[in-house]
Structure 1
Amino acid sequence: MSRVLAAALVAVLWACPAIAAPTVAFAWPDGQRAAVSLAYDDALDSHLDTAIPELDRHGLKASFYLTLSADTVRSRMSDWRAAARNGHELGNHSLFHQCAASKPGRDWVAPQRDLDTMTALQMQEQVRLASTMLQAIDGAATRTFTVPCGDTAAGDGDYVAALADDFVAIKVMGGAVVPDMQTLDVHAVPVEAPVGVDGDALIALVEDAARRGTMVNLTFHGIGAEHLAVSREAHARLLEHLAASPEIYWTATFRDIMTWVRARAAPPAPRPAAVSP
């Protein structure tokens, strides 16, 4: 083979991530190129009516982050329990979804749910109570947390750092694709919330994770309805793409993915011995 032809072949392979990819940078369970965490925030009806039936049809597992005060938690408790029994994760999204009203575009934040007026200790107590309530729903002893709005600061400072030991992992806003698994902070895992995008854009994100050999974290809100929505068609196209290539994508709950990641993390370097004066 000539050098010109070889160079052309390499260029074609790099342009087609579904055909070839660089050496996997992290060891996923069955040699997949990437882990895919599909999550759904705010305990919406469209999660139960649209997302879960589609996920189940394709044999995919996902994480559902419940705001415990949401009407659907009270009115559709049996449906959430059924989802958990079927292998989906029920994650912690706080009791009342407090966000900082002082940030731009936050006129929708109710005064009683303004994170700016809460103390860090109040938020920590509420998040821990939410975990207790979730355990009463699904019986699970381990949990993950998605920070509402990605806002980590209460009125008197950061409330999330002190919750690290409570959770397998914590997600904050910061982008869909993890750039490097070796430097990932499991208590500040980046996530993106797609809004109004099409199936091609969603597929491009999971393909980017496959090229890197890392993971992608997508958190949806409404599916074809409600707030911050993506269309049912875009969501369905992504699920079809993932289900068609299980050898490339490990689509699992965020809890399962991060349990795997934590088990393979390098142990912390030993501290140098103290030197006597």
Structure 2
Amino acid sequence: MTRLLYKLLNRNLKNIIVPGMVFLFSVAVFAQEQKRNWNGKKCAVVLTYDDALNIHLDKVIPMLNSYQFKGTFYLIGSSPVVSLRIEEWRTAAKQGHELGNHTLNHPCNGNMPGREFVTSETDLSKYTVARAVKETQITNTLLKAIDGKNERTFAYPCGDFTINDTLYYNFLKNDFVAARGVSSGYLNKKEVDFSNINSFFENGSTAEQMIAQVEEAEKKDSFIVFLFHGVGGEHALNIDLEEHRKLLEYLKKRKKDIWVATMVDVAKYIKDN
């Protein structure tokens, strides 16, 4: 539209617009187009939801569908919410939502403070790299059986990357498009680490706070990945369902400027651009 407007103005008003004005208008048009580096929009937003909760199927996905948005749901392969509701996850995938890999048993480093919930069976510090890799690949097989897809992204349980100082994802890079981490920050495309994509962890956040984060991403010509767990309950890490709806309402109103997409689609876009 801006290019067409420029052509019309340049053709119809060439007798009255001095060269300096044409130059300034060209610069303004170029600057405006330069800011639309995210699939033709000013920034990208990725909505991710961890741990395969019932609330995701019961509340979140219907809400996303009502706004015509697609989310990324990081599923724990051994979760009963996966095994008992496979058809619903399959339907979600058919609707365009991404089923991401959050490992088979959600292992976390039990030596870290506040990790009383970690059991001996799910203590990442007691894993071998081979076990972590195998369980993650098993989960990929499960997810493919559900959605039939070969491309997806990974999310580190508890944001823990290493086993005895070894980054186990190094042995999984060929299995995923990218991996989502837990460190926040606004990056340009060239700075993105596809083995640890930044995300903004939300717990008790208001819509106002989350909208401010989106606007900051837009100012920086960047993107933002939201990391949710509970949305309206079912998890100690939680945001209010209404605050979540308000965020979606804002994103819907800004759809001309904000690209809302899955983690796998945004990661692929960054790689290709």
TM-score by length of 1: 0.84
1:65-80 alignment, distance < 5 Å = 65-80=74-89
User: 2:65 pairs with 56, 66, 71, which one?
Assistant: 56
Match of 1:274 in 2: none
Whether the 8 Å contact between 1:34 and 1:249 is mirrored in structure 2 is: yes
Asked if 1:200 is matched to 2:200, the reply is no
Unaligned stretches of 5+ residues in structure 2? 1-30
How far does the alpha carbon of each residue in 1:73-104 deviate from its partner, in whole angstroms, 9 at most, with x for none? 01111110000000000000000000001011
Structure with the bigger percentage of helix: 2
2:218 and 2:190 map into 1 onto residues whose CA distance is 16
1:157 and 1:215 map into 2 onto residues whose CA distance is 29
Task: Point out the structure with max Rg over C-alpha.
Answer: 2
Equivalent pairs, count = 242
Match of 2:120 in 1: 111
Match of 2:8 in 1: none
CA-atom RMSD in angstroms: 1.5
- The structural deviation recorded for 1:22 is 8.0
Match of 1:244 in 2: 253
TM-score by length of 2: 0.85
- The structural deviation recorded for 1:156 is 6.1
Whether the 8 Å contact between 2:43 and 2:259 is mirrored in structure 1 is: yes
1:250 and 1:155 map into 2 onto residues whose CA distance is 39
1:115-134 alignment, distance < 5 Å = 115-134=124-143
Match of 2:16 in 1: none
Whether the 8 Å contact between 1:44 and 1:72 is mirrored in structure 2 is: yes
Q: Which sits farther off after the overlay, 181-190 or 133-142?
A: 181-190
Q: Secondary structure at the match of 2:46?
A: strand
Q: 1:22 to 1:182 in 2, by over 3 A?
A: farther
Asked if 1:93 is matched to 2:102, the reply is yes
- The structural deviation recorded for 1:152 is 0.7
Unaligned stretches of 5+ residues in structure 1? 1-20, 265-277
